[in-house]
């Protein structure tokens, strides 16, 4: 996933493509659900475009996830790493 080209200090990374793939959802379907065109979804996934706050929240609502699970200032690692980090307390 590449950062949005707004400068090295303000990247926004996202998991939109991964989340769509997990749900077997096309770009066209996500675009329809959030009220944009499929090209906008593609630009977001490539990191060529920042979503507005409203669009980011609509995307998160489609995936039923909090904003921090879909968008971040730092690059996302593999989900398996985040879910099964060795520094997590296994009793929690």
Task: Give domain limits for the chain.
Answer: 13-83
Q: Which fold has domain 13-83?
A: 434 Repressor (Amino-terminal Domain) (1.10.260)
Indicate whether 80 pLDDT > 90.
no
Region of poorest pLDDT, from 4-8, 74-78, 80-84: 4-8
Which pLDDT belongs to residue 6?
56
Cβ contact 61:19 at 8 Å: no
| Residue 91: exposure state from Cβ atoms within 10 A (0-12, 13-18, ≥19) | exposed
Query: pTM to 2 decimals?
Result: 0.76
Mean pLDDT of 58-72: 97
Indicate whether 83 pLDDT > 90.
no
Q: Which two tokens stand for residue 44?
A: 């977001």
Mean pLDDT of 58-67: 98
């Amino acid at each position: 996933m590449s950062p949005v080209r707004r400068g090295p200090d303000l990247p926004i990374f996202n998991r939109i493509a991964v989340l769509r793939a997990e749900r077997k959802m096309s770009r066209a379907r996500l675009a329809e659900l959030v009220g944009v065109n499929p090209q906008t979804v593609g630009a977001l996934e490539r990191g060529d475009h920042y979503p507005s706050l409203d669009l980011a929240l609509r995307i998160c609502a489609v995936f039923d996830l909090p904003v921090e699970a879909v968008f971040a200032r730092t690059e996302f690692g593999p989900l398996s790493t985040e879910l099964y980090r060795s520094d997590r307390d296994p009793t929690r």
